[in-house]
Structure 1
Amino acid sequence: MTSSTVQTRHFDSWDPAAIHGFLSTAYDPKLRIRSKARYRFTHHSVDTGPFTMATVHHTGQLDMGANNLEGLVITHTRTARIDRACGGSTNRFGPGDVYLVTKPGEPCSARWQPGEVEICVLDLSVLEQVATTAPTRRPGPIRFTDLGAVDAALARQWRNTTSYVNGVVLNNPTASAQPLVIGNAARMLAAAALVAFPNTAFTEPTAADRNDASTATLRRAINFMEEHADRDISASDIAGAAGVSLRAVQLAFRRHRGTTPMAYLRRIRLARAHHDLVLADPRQETVSAIASRWGFASHSRFTARYHASYGVPPRETLNA
């Protein structure tokens, strides 16, 4: 379970010492940075706790080195060109490219030409939550085996995911204030990262996982969801409450409900939103506020899902 307070920060400076101090605090206390000429550096970020989204722009050529970046750092170059050295190999990235800056805990260096990049920093615990919801999760830490995206289509999928999170979640004050929305967005980013970049997160389920994927496991999991639907719970929380592995609870839902634990949780939350809409005073409540309260960031997606389940748009229920 996570709780978060969204913090927006903006930094804009021509002072090399101030720039170094800011980046050292934000990314790596031992960060090295050097430039041959005076330059302007701007950094706009939204820190939610489980993830941070940042847009960074500078006007000079920067040589940078990091020893131990916090979390998984994923970069999308918008206009900049970057030469990165990591693990004995060097790569060049240009506009549109998506890549991991380095493997967690490994040093790297880069030459960053003038331009703009988008950076996403994911807490490693969120990756573990998402990876272990899959029935093929390998026990132990996740290890990334390559720093580039698997292919262009998955790189595009990552860009689309960050665009959605920035546009629909972080730019919506009503939605971004809700822990359920932020938790869902964090796991969405983590899932996209695990698909986009090669890693060791998946293997075959064990015989014990298959044996534990029973109706009793399903019942315990659903009871926990019903009781805690208003909290930011993950599949790992659900599995812990059911007393089985994460793979087992995923298999139980696939076997007996034809869905995933998190999809089933969304159904419960949709029903809770329906209940709130029925009881709400339309002079004091809005559809968007109720949807956000139950973890639905996108008004249009909530409306479509609600209409499919209840046969009317949510506004009609609210105004009835």
Structure 2
Amino acid sequence: MEIQDPDKAEAFLEEAYGARLRLSWLGDPAHGTVLTHTRQDAGAFAIDEVEVVGGFTASPDPLHKVAVVWTHRGRIAGRCAGVEGQARAGEVTLLVQPDLPHDVEGEDVAFTTVLLAPSLVAGVAGGAPHAPAAQIRFAMFEPVDETAQRLWQQTVRYVRDSVLADDALATPLVLGQAGRLLAAVTLSAFPNTLDAEPTDCDRDTKPVLLRRAVEFIESHLATDIGLGDIAAAIHVSPRAVQYMFRRHLETTPVQYLRRLRLHHAHQDLIAGGPGHDTVTAIAARWGFAHTGRFSVLYRQTYGRSPHATLRGASL
């Protein structure tokens, strides 16, 4: 979307972000395109590409999102609840505290914005799928270090350019995992108040609960589930679920889930044929977004490549 009229640009952005922006243009931007905007929307998260010509300030109403900006040109800065951050070309900053008003300013800026639902971020941090958004507060708007910034950028680039760019790959299962991955690297990069330690009652677990957890996993293999969903299904904390799996199965819930999905992918490869299925499609069906990593894991488990298994099914 390219817009030349500043008033139309403001109206478009308010519709896109679901909030009044109180946008002010600095100087006269009415010379050609003032706003370019594209969005890849995956429900719980979205990735926007934005270019703004000229200087601007905005004091939006709460966006009800966690918003992180990766600047490619120019400079953008934000202030929210006493926390400030800014990013120049190549840098990343977090601009929005969920459910709090904030101020933003920039000039001749091009950037990528990652928008995350607060429930997604809170769920990843606490392991509970419906953690209240009000608990999410970030102590810093700038990444803790360059390594954290690079990891965040690499993850966004992978999700944007690989997962969202391929309709065959972007299954609901893969998109769910991609959202949790984006939330996880955001929580890792920007210090927050959602860290929690397990309590003694978390460790009071019994094998019957483990059986229920396993049954839940096995009946939801093709569904986008995570640790928080497993814990909610058997009414214990996420830490308790992790403890059960480590103590009794010597693995983690996520590793157990991945192993079962790999087994089902193996069965589909055996039953399929090169004329009807592809390794990429079968891998994505069971939540494996990266075909190369899927192939490595498959070979480590079954001693041959998934392509060889698929070819063998047609013989």
TM-score, normalization by structure 2: 0.91
> What amino acid sits opposite 2:76 in the alignment?
I
Shift of 1:140: 8.1
Identify the residue that residue 271 of structure 1 maps to in structure 2. Answer: 263
Distance in 2 separating the partners of 1:138 and 1:266: 28
Distance in 1 separating the partners of 2:238 and 2:86: 38
Shift of 1:82: 1.6
Identify the residue that residue 232 of structure 2 maps to in structure 1. Answer: 240
Identify the residue that residue 216 of structure 1 maps to in structure 2. Answer: 208
TM alignment of 1:118-267, pairs within 5 A: 118-133=112-127, 141-176=135-170, 178-212=171-205, 214-267=206-259
Give the SS at the match of 2:49. Answer: strand
* Structure showing greater relative contact order (alpha-carbon pairs closer than 8 Å, 6 or more residues apart): 1
TM-score, normalization by structure 1: 0.90
Change (3 A) 1:93 1:195: same
Give the SS at the match of 2:113. Answer: strand
Shift of 1:77: 1.0
Give the SS at the match of 2:198. Answer: coil
Change (3 A) 1:258 1:158: farther
- Unpaired runs of 5+ residues, structure 2, are none
> What amino acid sits opposite 2:179 in the alignment?
A
Shift of 1:89: 5.4
Distance in 1 separating the partners of 2:251 and 2:123: 18
**Correspondence 1:27 to 2:17:** yes
Shift of 1:138: 12
Change (3 A) 1:286 1:139: closer
Contact 1:103 1:147 in 2 (8 A): no
Contact 1:253 1:260 in 2 (8 A): yes
Shift of 1:235: 1.5
> What amino acid sits opposite 1:116 in the alignment?
A
Change (3 A) 1:133 1:91: closer
Matched pairs, number: 306
- Render the CA deviation track for 1:156-182: whole Å, top value 9, x for unaligned: 111111011112201111011x10000
Change (3 A) 1:169 1:101: same
Identity %: 39
RMSD value, Cα:
2.0
- Unpaired runs of 5+ residues, structure 1, are 1-10
Contact 2:119 2:133 in 1 (8 A): no
